[in-house]
Homo-oligomer: A and B are copies of this chain.
Amino acid sequence: MTEEPGEQDRGDGVESAAPRRRAAPTIYDIAHLAGVNPSSVSRALNQPGRMSAKTESRIHDAARRLNYRVNPMARALPTGRTNMIGLVIADITNPVVFSIVRGAERAAAERDYTLVLAESEESSDRELKVAERLLQSVDGLILATSRLDDSAVTRLAEAKPLVVVNRVVDNVPGVVADVSRGITEAVDLLALFGHRSVAYLSGPERSWISHARWRSIKERCDWSRMEVTALPTASPTVEGGRGAAAAVRSSGCTAVIAYNDLIAIGLMRELGMAGLQIPRDLSVVGFDDIFGSDFTVPPLTTIQMPLQRQGARAVELILDALKEDSAPRQSESGDLLTHLVVRGSVGPPRSRSAPH
């Protein structure tokens, strides 16, 4: 309380041994140094050109000299804008989300937004809680691998701009990749090799995207006059893939398209341990092209999703919604195409190895 109360003991509450923190400079410090009113500082910093060049540069100099950074919390209060975007994912160790996170982080950072991350650990209860908590601190929310039902998503979307990834919810913008191209390529390749019977190792029953993939696969297989059946898996993981091996073998199919790469990898490993050879005994196609899918033997042929671009696009949609209030852009898959990455896990079926 020597001179400027509140300047003296700011920083951290207790004042004993802890390393002394230097308090961050404020616009008041700048105003003092530049000899102007704090509000002028705010103006100079936020609306360049609305002030005499001389004063403006004096203020900027002072700010630079003090190494000033705006306090995002203080700014957020009156404006309601935090410059943060929330990203909720089910499981951060799922390689599928890495790319989404990266794409989102990059797109956000580029526009000076900060990404806030939260994990729902595959629980829809936790997801709701986490999303509600995040919602308070961010300008918009991305649900990357949501386990919520549509109504909950819709309700969340009422509070702040919200975008879902790889999912379609009425009236909520979504970023969905167009799987048809990749699937067409995959099915066509199998057909070319002479496969006549294919199985789809499906994902979680409640997964919108798993059904979308199945529909697309079914359609293309029908078109190619191939038999196709869906086989369930216990979980969309390596373990789930392992567990499905028996069903695959007894199904009599000669090729498999898996809901994701983890399942595909699990299946290959299990069959490999049982002495089968891939692709001689079974052709396997994965989905996503995750990190490590080329480490396997043989390397996995897989349908690559534009996950990083999807993450970036999700951020862009949020920012769009924030900027103007044009009608919320609906799920558009324009440039979000998938394509087949051909590696070693697809070949001719055992019986007839000649094409066609």
Contacts and interface: CB of A to CB of B under 8 A. Distances in A.
Interface stretch (A19-27, A56-64, A244-252): A19-27
B106 A119 contact: yes
A133 interface: yes
Nearest to A20: B158
| Copies of this chain | 2
Contacts of A73: 73, 76-77, 82, 136-137
Interface in A198-240: none
Interface stretch (A41-49, A144-152, A274-282, A291-299): A291-299
A158 B76 contact: no
A331 interface: no
Contacts of A20: 158
A22 B92 contact: no
Contact of A159 (B24, B136, B324): B24
Interface stretch (A9-17, A30-38, A178-186, A187-195): A9-17
B105 A92 contact: yes
Nearest to A114: B116
A293 to B, nearest CB: 8
A8 to B, nearest CB: 15
A136 B71 contact: yes
Interface residues of A, number: 63
A325 interface: yes
A48 to B, nearest CB: 20
A134 interface: yes
Contacts of A324: 14
A28 interface: no
A192 B335 CA distance: 56
Given A105-B118, A115-B118, A18 B133 contact: no
20 contacts: A12-B80, A17-B325, A18-B321, A19-B157, A20-B158, A22-B158, A70-B136, A71-B136, A72-B136, A73-B76, A92-B102, A93-B98, A109-B119, A109-B130, A114-B133, A115-B116, A116-B116, A116-B117, A292-B292, A296-B297
Given A77-B77, A295-B296, 8 more contacts: A24-B136, A70-B136, A73-B136, A84-B116, A93-B98, A101-B117, A109-B118, A114-B134
Complex A-B, nearest 10 residue pairs according to Cβ-Cβ distance, in ascending order:
A292-B292, A18-B325, A73-B76, A295-B295, A297-B297, A72-B137, A117-B117, A92-B102, A295-B296, A73-B73
